[in-house]
Amino acid sequence: MEAPTLPPLQRKARLIMEGRAVVAAKTKRLIGRDLRGCIAVLDHENLDAAAAEALAASGVMAVVNASPTMTGAYPAKGPLILFRKKIPILEIGRADFARFQDGGFVQIFTDALRAADNVVSYRTFDLARWLKLYRAAQSNADRLLLTFIDNTLDYARREKSFVLERLQLPPLATRLAGRHAIVVARGSGCAADLRAVASYIARFRPVRIGVDGGADVLLAAGHRPDLIVGDMDSVSDRALRCGAELIVHAYPDGRAPGLARVRGLGLQAHVVPSFGTSEDVALLVAHEARAERIVALGVRRHMVDFLEKGRGGMGSTLLIRMKLGGKLIDADGIRFLCGGSDDAGDGS
């Protein structure tokens, strides 16, 4: 389709790039799509590393963000991933997000954006600004960690009964007893880490469990998930239809918004009400189903992981790791031990 001819801006400006807009209030809606030649228009405060990796992999030419890409509240590395891929980040006002239409043509000039008949001003979020905010967040790390620890202990007190009691498993068709299980979430570096454990998968043939978008990571690597666990908000229709057994993570009171999506695709799913994250539930499912060994990949393990997902503590996750003990092995980062590189270094 030919690009429309747009009237020039009122002031002299140089055209930098142009393309179709892909507009998403939730960045997870863009995961797994081929966006080459497109400009992503987001409303994503504190762009996390996993989202940035997905955007870089999609092939977008630029990112336009209607929220602060980084606030400096914690040392986030998402923007650095885009900088290393030479993908510019442009910040616009929150009210200007509505001026962009999905599929509409966008032009980026040196002093403004053009979308249909709208002229939108922007500010470039560059490496120097990221480094300033990153170092400021690092200097505040002790206070941040103290608050995170307090929140974690508070969550742990509230959620300990959930961890101590046995998870009520639905009747699963997938057999886990006596087998290895690999639990894959879409965390930073998960695709590269999955490639690094290819020989383990070939040797032990573990039960493959995808946590929401982790199912798409498995499929992209040539592994069909046996189980998909999650609230079903960031997994593709393709993954849900791949033949895996589905478990919808519901709220403790039984509400399961993700079930409607599953049924809308003509599929069936088990429902497991539970506290904690979907990653927690996936690990507990494998444990309660008597898996011999559980390998976790791409799951949240430290403070920044949780802060990037809007959680001020990790009570249930800490307790579950204590419960699983030596049965649980973290595979994240194994590629670095095998000579890989850290694509999310701090740049300092």
For residues 165-171, give the mean pLDDT: 85
Strand pairing class (89-91; 62-65) = parallel
Contact by Cβ (8 Å): 190, 343? no
Task: Return the pLDDT at 347.
Answer: 40
What is the mean pLDDT of the segment spanning 280-286? 93
Question: What integer is the mean pLDDT of 130-145?
Answer: 86
In this predicted model, what pLDDT tens digit does every residue of 66-94 receive, in sequence order?
Answer: 999 999 888 888 999 999 999 999 999 99
The share of the chain scoring above pLDDT 70, in percent, equals: 89
In terms of phi and psi (left: phi > 0; alpha: psi -120 to 50; beta: otherwise), the region of 293 is beta
Does residue 9 have a pLDDT over 60?
A: no
Helix (H, G, I), strand (E, B) or coil at 223: coil
Span 294-335, pLDDT tens digits? 999 988 776 666 676 666 557 777 788 888 888 999 887 776
Q: pLDDT tens, 54-69? A: 899 899 999 999 999 9
Tell me which residue of 183, 245, 231 sits closest to 210, measured CA to CA: 183
Which of 99, 65, 105 has its CA nearest to residue 82? 65
Helix residue ranges, H only, the chain? 49-58, 78-84, 127-139, 141-164, 190-196, 198-204, 214-220, 237-240, 257-264, 278-288, 303-308, 315-324, 334-337
Q: Is the pLDDT of residue 5 over 50?
A: no
Q: Is 213 helix (H, G, I), strand (E, B) or coil?
A: coil
* DSSP helix/strand/coil, 36: coil
Tell me what the mean pLDDT of segment 8-17 comes to. Answer: 72
Q: How far is it, in rounded angstroms, from Cα 9 to Cα 117?
A: 10
For the cut 90, the answer to whether the pLDDT of residue 128 exceeds it is yes
Q: Are 273 and 247 in contact (CB under 8 A)?
A: no
Mean pLDDT in residue range 95-117: 93
CA distance 76 to 53: 13
- Percent of the chain scored above 90 by pLDDT? 57
For the stretch 256-274, pLDDT in tens is 999 999 999 999 999 999 8
The length of the chain, given as a count of residues? 348
| Closest C-alpha among 136, 108, 135 to residue 123 | 108
Per-residue pLDDT, 221? 93
Residue 160, pLDDT > 70, answer: yes
Per CATH, the number for 15-137 is: 3.50.30.10
pLDDT higher than 90, residue 31: no
Does residue 249 sit in helix, strand or coil? strand
Tokens for 86, please give them: 């030479």
Q: What is the DSSP letter of 297?
A: E
Instruction: Please enumerate in sequence order all residues whose Cβ is within 8 A of that of 134, keeping only pairs 6 or more positions apart, or say none.
Output: 70, 72, 75, 76, 77, 346, 347, 348
Sheet with 293-297: strands ordered across:
270-273, 245-250, 227-230, 207-211, 180-185, 293-297, 328-330
Range(s) for CATH 3.50.30.10 in the chain?
15-137
- pLDDT score recorded for residue 154: 80
Longest dimension (CA), the chain: 70
Say if residue 2's pLDDT is above 60: no
The pLDDT of residue 175 = 96
Q: Which of 18-27, 159-168, 173-182, 183-192 shows the highest mean pLDDT?
A: 173-182
Mean per-residue pLDDT of the chain: 86
* Per-position b or e across 214-237, b if 16+ CB within 10 A of its CB: bbbbbbebebebbbbbbbbebbbe
Q: In terms of pLDDT, which residue wins out, 160 or 224?
A: 224
pLDDT for residue 277? 86
Q: How far apart are CA 194 and CA 297, in angstroms?
A: 7
